[in-house]
Structure 1
Amino acid sequence: MVVDSSISYPVGNTPASGTSAGERKLMPTIAAEMDRRQQLYSLLMPVMNLYVPGLDKGKGLYFLFIKAETKTPSGLVARPVLTSYYKSHQFKTRPFDPYNVYTSPNETILCVDAFQSMYSQMLCGLIYREEVLRCGAVFASGLVRAIKFLQLNWQQLAQDIETGYLSPKIMDPEVRDCVSKILKPGQELARFIRKECCEGNWEGIIKRIWPNTKYLDVIVTGAMAQYIPILDYYSGNLPKCCTMYASSECYFGLNLTPMVKPSEVCYTIMPNMGYFEFIPHDQSAHDSATELLDLANLEVGKEYELVVTTYSGLCRYRVGDILQVKGFHNSAPQFKFVRRKNVLLSIDADKTDETELQTAVENASELLKEFNTKVVEYTSYGDTKTIPGHYVIYWELLVQDPANGPSNNVLDRCCLAMEESLNSVYRQSRVADNSIGPLEIRVVKNGTFEELMDYAISRGASINQYKVPRCVSFTPIMELLDSRVVSVHFSPASPHWTSERRF
């Protein structure tokens, strides 16, 4: 038996989880579970090929990573769920499939050093650039991180390609051996990379370097939706496909219409993955006995909290996802992921969840468009040290034209725009009750959220599973964020609120 030391939802569309915020979870798994996971993976490309023909004529550039294993006090191996899969017999000895050829050799994926793994995978992706038909990572954040890695390391990568000799920074002997078989002197390719990267223009960089890319294979629903603008910027608006819905606890199903807009994504449950039950959402908030429904008794349009019983030993485990039934494929329900059950922010009677916070950030960021500025990362916390307490939102901005960046007044207005987007209970607390103070935005310097990820990885998070926590409370993380603040902004006025009359 193996224990998955996991962030919940490594390949599903779900928000902040254990390791991202500094905690870890242990989920039981068994060897036979790999066969079920492999079965689900094997269905992804046949579905994609219905919508994007010719995927057997090239390669996929995927940035995939493992994490070092640990052991529990009783001696059980503990590792992230995707590490279990990538190290499994099913993955390492998978039969040749022309629809699933990666640019990255297994050795580069199985290298436990994050830098060496990313560097070698990026190098192979550049070498095979004209054969790449799709780019991806588990989460949208992973693909964004890969492009940022290219921004920082393109000069060394171009030098390796020009000379045909791998950088001495790559010390893993198995990685050096497999990459050296691929890497040959290529002056023309090196010149091309330098030309595309030297001027610092990263708009459409994915399509420019990998010109035959047809879509991005990433999760951009749930917490990952905030990466859509930056991925559009990097890719020239390539389609973004969310192919499957899974978690550390259990793999659930797949998206049978992968080319739809991210806001329209729904997943078809595969009943053979586990035993699924559902709590009607209007009951799921109560601790008392609740009604459990099986797959056959769900209704279109209604929302449910997902409960799973797995082959690996979980019994009626409340996953914490709120799903809405959108329809049926034959008799299998199709779900849209709505949100995580847990509330992110609360100062008084207010309760702000992740979806609402995401919407508020999106609405406020509309004010930045005329200044060619985007919010590339954010997180939050409820500051109760002040009287009254207030919401603090950390923003990292991408300012494409520093000479025409947003002024302090514009960023102050962004605070108010966020407050106008929050629910009536919040606005009542701000306006009528004075129990919540003005919302604050703290702009942090570029690279801060990269440091935040590095810190999480140093504490045991997996680079492959990491997701920026949308709410933080861990003191070292908050100290890191506060040490990188470059400007502070408060809402200049109270949001709109009027009392509702009841008759």
Structure 2
Amino acid sequence: MMNGKKLEYKGEEALKELERLTAKAGEVQEDILKEILTRNGDTEYLNKYMKGAKDVHSFKSRVPVIGYNGIKPYIQRIIHGEDSSLLTSHPITEMLCSSGTSNGEPKLMPSIAEDLDRRTFVYNLIMPIVNQYIPGSDEGKAMYLYFIKAEMPTPCGLPARTVLTSYYKSKHFKGRSRNMPYYDLTSPDQAILCDDSNQSMYCQLLAGLVLRHQVLRLGAVFASAFLRSITFLEKNWVRLCNDIRKGKLGPSITDPECQLAMSNMLSSPNPCLADEIEGICGCSSWKGILCRLWPKAKYIEAVVTGSMAQYIPSLEYYSDGKLPLVCTMYASSECYFGVNLKPLCDPSEVSFTLLPNMGYFEFIELGKNAWSLDIDEDEEVPRDKVVDVIQVILGHYYEIVATTFAGLYRYRIGDVLQVTGFHNKAPQFKFICRRNVILSLENDKTSEEDLYKSITVAKKLLEPHNVLLLEYTSYADASTVPGHYVLYWEIGHVGQMTLSKLDEVLRECCIAIEEELDYIYRRCRSHDRCIGPLEIRVVQPGTFEALMDLFISQGGSINQYKTPRCIKSRTALKLLDANVKECFFSPRDPKWVP
């Protein structure tokens, strides 16, 4: 049972607890479910289906597997003042907002006080795991760039905020010097907790530069946020150097807490340090800049799986391939799921070991094909397609389903995973994609992974021309007859080459993508003629940063932002189209064999 007292595992003790939990994964899972049903069996939601029963068999046979629409009416009732007992026996302390970029609309998830204990348990595992592979990582400082999002009020007074904002504002994070002494950040808490992301980023980068020779780890939650920070540094390094040279914070920082925190760090002028940084940032090329600015850094920690894999080439460019990319954990707003026990593995090989004490987990069987069972979120899931932890099969694909203490029951997270192995009795999963992020016009169904793989092949055509694909997204344009796939590309490092000189290459990129898409798409294009030629629209530099700003302004979080790989928002499409420089179409039909 997770009662708070059993969460303060550190070092070797944390690793031993990990071994204990995974060695008895099935038993731990059954105990977790029994405890959830014992605690929450009298809630209105469970009573509706279980009629007073609290046993595992009744739960599995009577409670439906649901998507967000199945739980949303209860959440709406709670945020409008009804009691938490609609869903859980514990008081709901806050509503957690999803990122809102996977399918265009943030969702609210109930959270209880002990959820913070569970998240802390996962964070306490990370450094002991990493230290086995990169000794001494727990010494020195970490320049981890963390950001919060301003809370939204609800009618009942419960705060609505992102899961990371919740954690950074908690006593667990603020008291980390006692509970997690290795979690020594360069960023002052005041800078992290500033809800003006520009002021927060400026102060955090300034602190990281001041303490540059003490930094052993670099990172952010998602690769996209870390790269945005590098872009910010490119634009503002002169101002940052001036502040260090003068020993005084510039006038652009107006947040009182940030001013106070940074005044302690800039206690006196430091022209020597400013000259060092100026000499590095003033170079014509920023290739390998991270290693030059933070020479003792051992790795970069960030999520680089799923849609974040797109950022790997850029991270390798800025580190000159010298810093390992470490992806440590798998988590969502709804629940934390697992940790990566091999942090130095190639990003394409990252697998997460399921932590059986985080919640109760089930899996919708998809077989050997991730898209063999396409069940809409509001459709009933066949009972024989839902299995538990000890029933998953190596190599098979699954959609994960979670039951939590906070009031989610058999809830479809929306992530497609593949079983890659086992650690003791606990399965290990590779994150494949979000199940509802696909392009489709006719019978075609292009997953996020399929799109990423095809673009990975196509962008190799750019490399001989010193051109880098920085960002991309897509949408299925049904306004044309026939409809066609549209990709928005932001490219960089072109040098003196103009787009007109890249015309032929970009058209070849179009057909290369189509050649890599699946049989059904190619048949629809080449035989049935129900899909038109694929189009690449090259956008102005900075367009995807503006897209990120748009989603953040609509309630997204810089910490949790992930560029949506399939755009559904008309406002976002309007922004993208307003920045298109030139369009390129596939010059011929993709090969198709009947």
Q: Same fold (TM over 0.5)?
A: yes
2:561 aligns with one of 451, 466, 483: 466
Q: Shift of the alpha carbon at 1:124?
A: 0.3
2:374 aligns with one of 265, 285, 290: 285
2:227 aligns with one of 117, 132, 144: 144
Go from structure 1 to structure 2 and tell me whether the alpha carbon gap of 1:420 and 1:372 turns closer, same or farther (over 3 Å shift). Answer: same
Matches of 1:373 and 1:21, distance apart in 2 = 30
Q: Shift of the alpha carbon at 1:302?
A: 1.7
2:150 counterpart residue number? 68
Percent identity of paired positions between Structure 1 and Structure 2: 52
The alignment partner of 1:102 has SS state of coil
Which structure has the greater CA radius of gyration?
2
Q: Shift of the alpha carbon at 1:388?
A: 0.5
Matches of 2:103 and 2:240, distance apart in 1 = 33
1:354 counterpart residue number? 448
2:162 aligns with one of 67, 80, 83: 80
Q: Shift of the alpha carbon at 1:404?
A: 7.4
2:294 counterpart residue number? 210
Q: Shift of the alpha carbon at 1:400?
A: 4.4
The alignment partner of 2:280 has SS state of helix
1:235 aligns with one of 319, 323, 343: 319
2:342 counterpart residue number? 257
Counterpart check, 1:455 vs 2:539: no
Cα RMSD after superposing both structures: 1.5
Counterpart check, 1:2 vs 2:97: no
Go from structure 1 to structure 2 and tell me whether the alpha carbon gap of 1:218 and 1:93 turns closer, same or farther (over 3 Å shift). Answer: same
Partner AA of 2:374 in structure 1: A
- The answer as to whether partners of 1:412 and 1:489 remain within 8 angstroms in 2 is yes
- The answer as to whether partners of 2:104 and 2:568 remain within 8 angstroms in 1 is no
Matches of 1:2 and 1:449, distance apart in 2 = 35
1:316 aligns with one of 407, 410, 419: 410
1:331 counterpart residue number? 425
Partner AA of 1:303 in structure 2: Y
- Equivalences for 1:74-113 in 2 at 5 Å? 74-96=156-178, 97-113=180-196
- Equivalences for 1:52-201 in 2 at 5 Å? 52-96=134-178, 97-183=180-266, 184-201=268-285
Q: Give the TM-score normalised by structure 1.
A: 0.95
Partner AA of 2:349 in structure 1: E
Q: Give the TM-score normalised by structure 2.
A: 0.80
Matches of 1:106 and 1:288, distance apart in 2 = 45
1:481 aligns with one of 572, 576, 579: 576
- The answer as to whether partners of 1:57 and 1:98 remain within 8 angstroms in 2 is no
Matches of 2:491 and 2:465, distance apart in 1 = 11
Q: Shift of the alpha carbon at 1:311?
A: 1.1
Q: Shift of the alpha carbon at 1:94?
A: 2.1
- Equivalences for 1:404-423 in 2 at 5 Å? 407-423=502-518
Counterpart check, 1:225 vs 2:314: no
Matches of 1:383 and 1:315, distance apart in 2 = 36
State which drifts further: 375-384 or 93-102.
Answer: 93-102
State which drifts further: 431-440 or 90-99.
Answer: 90-99
Go from structure 1 to structure 2 and tell me whether the alpha carbon gap of 1:410 and 1:153 turns closer, same or farther (over 3 Å shift). Answer: same
Partner AA of 1:260 in structure 2: C
The alignment partner of 1:90 has SS state of helix
Partner AA of 2:313 in structure 1: P
Partner AA of 2:296 in structure 1: N
Structure 2: tracts of 5 or more residues without a match: 1-91
Partner AA of 2:97 in structure 1: S
Partner AA of 2:360 in structure 1: Y
Matches of 1:171 and 1:325, distance apart in 2 = 49
Count residues in correspondence. Answer: 490
Matches of 1:259 and 1:68, distance apart in 2 = 35
Matches of 1:298 and 1:153, distance apart in 2 = 50
- The answer as to whether partners of 2:95 and 2:158 remain within 8 angstroms in 1 is no
Q: Shift of the alpha carbon at 1:343?
A: 4.3
Partner AA of 1:338 in structure 2: I
Matches of 2:277 and 2:141, distance apart in 1 = 20
Q: Shift of the alpha carbon at 1:20?
A: 5.8
Counterpart check, 1:271 vs 2:356: yes
Structure 1: tracts of 5 or more residues without a match: 9-17
The alignment partner of 2:204 has SS state of helix
- The answer as to whether partners of 2:488 and 2:536 remain within 8 angstroms in 1 is yes
1:461-486, Cα deviation, whole Å (9 max, x unpaired)? 11111111101121111111111111
Matches of 1:465 and 1:107, distance apart in 2 = 20
